[in-house]
Structure 1
């Protein structure tokens, strides 16, 4: 064998080994795919429920006798707000950790599968209660609305299942740290662990509410629950839930989008600091959802309003980092002028286009969030459909489109297929349809909310009132936008089936960007989970201890001895 031939063989072997190391292990991929497929079943069924909602509100559809509006609303909220997000996140994070920290051990993978089956069993139980009209509670855990105890237990199992799978991801990350002492941790795996810690801390509130209040109450073991305490525990969880949805989208924006456009991660340190700030600031802000509720001292409402505005800081850091990445890449490609880089972005690549549309949607969504969190302006839009429009820009656009754009390459990567040019074009069409439909529907929701249209309501119950007549044109616009969104959901569902089962066999990349060569080294303090954990606990204790003591001590129920019921 000649020297040239040996070098060629060695190069081929080296390339093959590198490619193998960049692939998620098929055993880990099966767990990730199991979660992701259920997530997209939820997209289709939740989309059908959403379409029914907007058609009923517009007065163009009457539901059959075996369905009611609030039952459909609960299906939509649970499937898209809880199931799509939790299941996709667990699937994506499993693949992300396997890709960046190495293949799971058999023990770790088994723990992940235990979590999957616990969550799936819980989902089936909760779904059965909704379908039998035993749990039409508008998807929240909000007393005095009461569901069958099986519904609460089912959704609790979904959360417990996610705890197990999240634990497997953390275990693999810890193993990597032990194997690579002194090295900076992989950015994507680090972000996954931060999000899991956020999830564990946030879900403690709803776990306490469900286990000690709602289940005993719904089983008839106690006559009443303290409604204010119940809602406070829910919103301790409820606003952090938004960041549990959002942070995986940020993971994709920070670590994957730069690779797709041919660039680098702007700063490893900035990205990790951003996530640590979200960890400490996401939980102690839930009372800003309770501005109109009596029983909470206005001082603590104001304090949590201030804490809520601090969350703007890591969001702005993310915007700076992303647009710096875009501009630097554009300059490398020869872009001139202030916005010349914009033309250099890969607009025909669905892996980029769909998340980018989500980023753009997050700008007005974030502005609306500032209104929601403002102590005074919230009075105007509280419990109106403005809030629903806000959620559809943030979760249903920024998060959902990023998840969709990721799924179209992640699914074929995990099952050994490829994203074809035609599938890529169809994905772009789905993203554009989503943008059009959501612009129409969400704009109508925001305007109707300013006119006082309530959220979570079937407007037909208002009869021929002047209010209902004033809202009618915006209800019709919502129906038009919702119909376009449903067409997009059909395209997305078809694409998931195609890339999952019918696309050509091959190898699809799992793109992970490298850190820019000139970026500063990440300080060890930023990766110190103990330090940030202590800060997080301290902030939560400060924000919630006195309000909860006040609620319990001033409640006729709590005065009997700090009982939760």
Structure 2
């Protein structure tokens, strides 16, 4: 049977528009990252009066928010079009409107950062204040993403009506789960920007409640991590099996893990605020427990993936405990590059457990350990999987093919990335355990002796970061080749089939009334009382800063 199905050209054009913005953000944000590690080594000074924290803001916003949001929406639009059918004209128009609004917002925020009017870092905490145009730009990015997400949800609803009583395609279901997670999570950041930071920067109010602002940010900030991760999980669960010639281990297990991610990724923001006053320790403990619940779907994912790999290897004649490992298609960049990301998620997940633990967090809180962890999760597990997706998605959407030469270069790129990140992130973890602060340049260290002690780790970060920048140059070259210069042809959009022995998918997994009710209840339980308490009884320092 010929499994080749081409995404409609009109939908492909919409998805590619998102990809172009994503990779432009990668180029600019990656260059800012290179400048960062060079400055932190103490061997380089930024020219033209460019500030270190200005570069840090460019790097964090462009890579943490712009690259990820545009890539994920473009990928999910393509996934829904491929598995649930061509978008209706109305849904496609919604997708374009969302893209335009997001792009305008991104441009507004980027201009303010480059003008040094929004050097407020990736988290834009008060009392750091940006120009009101920056906050308005962020608002437009969020609103635009809601419009694009609405296009995905509307197509899902339309498809469900057409197949009453049957489960939706797995990849479409996953895309909808991630879209719902994003919409619910961004309510927090939208609230703090619209009702606190934007009026404050316009001079309409004199103060903002800092504790409330940080709480609303982290209500968004932690599920943001899963908004990044779930598209990678989509590829691991439902696309990688097709690429290697295997079948999906279990459709229902994959759906259940995504439902659990939706339920347990949002009401856990307090574990980023464990050292902050104004939040009762009991509520922090509750959210730490909920945070550790996310381990369950993560272990389910690991089990399903390696069960798929082992079954594939056995089908190819593998014997012994790890014989299947040698049977995997290591010469295929579409598999090998995401697999490196999977392996990186093992230490990344372990680091996440440390960060979320009330006791161990005290050791690493606000040190560069956290930055190292961040670079293992987002910048390795997620980003390498995104690159692996791009190697087949971009040529599929542009009507070109992944040539053997580009495939080899893609594997080299993945290896370079793994080496560079191992050096840089390893140095960050080690320096963090020695107390090196997060977000600090060499010139801002207060203790001269400590600064000298950390020099070897800063230099290692510069070496690793420079290798990573070479990896960015390579992926940009590959992206341009796949967009404009690779031979024209048909590149498969791989969608896995469920194994014959898998259990039938229960329809309760698509009963949104149940899952949204549980989600709402968890959020209300985790946030209502502590939120009211911090408004009524917050410490003196939380009640705001004057607009100077």
TM-score (norm 2): 0.98
* Residues 409-437 of structure 1: per-residue CA shift (max 9 Å, x gap): 10110011000000000000000000000
Following the alignment from structure 1 to structure 2, what is the Cα–Cα distance between the partners of residues 559 and 117? 37
Q: Distance in 2 between matches of 1:463 and 1:536?
A: 45
Report the Cα offset of residue 408 of structure 1: 1.5
Is the Cα contact below 8 Å between 1:552 and 1:559 reproduced in 2?
no
> Aligned match of 1:56 in 39, 44, 48?
39
Deviates more, 1:327-336 or 1:179-188: 179-188
In structure 2, C-alpha distance between the alignment counterparts of 1:463 and 1:378, rounded to whole Å: 23
Match of 1:7 in 2: none
Q: Tell whether 2:202 aligns with 1:219.
A: yes
Match of 1:551 among 531, 534, 538: 534
Aligned pairs for 1:128-139 (under 5 A) are: 128-139=111-122
Give the superposition deviation at 1:557: 9.2
Shift of 1:444: 0.2
Kept in 2: contact 1:553–1:559 (CA 8 A): no
Q: Rg: which structure is higher?
A: 1
Deviation, 1:463, is 6.5
The residue that corresponds to 2:300 in the other structure is: 317
Q: Which residues of 2 match residues 68-79 of structure 1 at below 5 A? A: 68-79=51-62
Match of 1:380 in 2: 363
> Which residue number corresponds to residue 86 of structure 1?
69
- Aligned-partner Cα distance in 1 for 2:424–2:504: 45
Aligned to 2:515, which of 521, 526, 532?
A: 532
Match of 1:295 in 2: 278
After superposition, where does 1:255-404 map in structure 2 within 5 Å? 255-404=238-387
Matched, 1:115 2:98: yes
Provide the C-alpha distance between the structure 2 equivalents of 1:443 and 1:160, rounded to a whole number of angstroms: 37
- Asked whether the 8 Å contact 1:226–1:557 carries over to 2, the reply is no
**Does structure 1 residue 182 correspond to structure 2 residue 165?**
yes
- Give distance in 2, aligned partners of 1:471 and 1:526: 50
Gaps of 5+ in 2: 544-548
State the alpha-carbon separation in 2 of the partners of residues 464 and 449 from structure 1: 15
Say how many residue pairs are matched: 543
CA 1:546–1:515 in structure 2 vs 1: closer, same or farther (change >3 Å)? same
The 5 A counterparts of 1:372-521 are: 372-462=355-445, 465-521=448-504
Whether contact under 8 Å (1:416, 1:505) holds in the other structure is: yes
CA distance in 2, matches of 1:313, 1:556: 36
Q: Following the alignment from structure 2 to structure 1, what is the Cα–Cα distance between the partners of residues 438 and 19?
A: 30
Greater than 4 Å deviation, 4+ residue runs: 556-560
CA 1:347–1:512 in structure 2 vs 1: closer, same or farther (change >3 Å)?
same
Which runs of 5 or more residues in structure 1 are unaligned?
1-13, 561-565
SS in 1 for 2:491: coil
**How far is 1:459 from its partner?**
2.2
User: What is the root-mean-square deviation of aligned Cα atoms in Å?
Assistant: 1.4
| CA distance, structure 2, for counterparts of residue 461 and residue 142 of structure 1 | 19
Instruction: Give me the whole-angstrom Cα distance separating, in 1, the residues matched to 2:539 and 2:253.
Output: 49
TM-score of the two chains, using structure 1 as the length reference: 0.95
Deviation sequence 1:487-520 (CA, Å, 0-9, x none) = 0000000000000000000000000010001100
Distance 1:407 1:435 in 2: 17
CA distance in 1, matches of 2:156, 2:508: 18
- Is the Cα–Cα contact under 8 Å of residues 354 and 431 in structure 1 kept in the other structure? yes
- The offset of 1:268, in angstroms, is 0.4
Deviation at 1:25, TM superposition (A): 0.4
Give the Cα–Cα distance (whole angstroms) in 1 for the partners of residues 310 and 445 of structure 2. Answer: 51
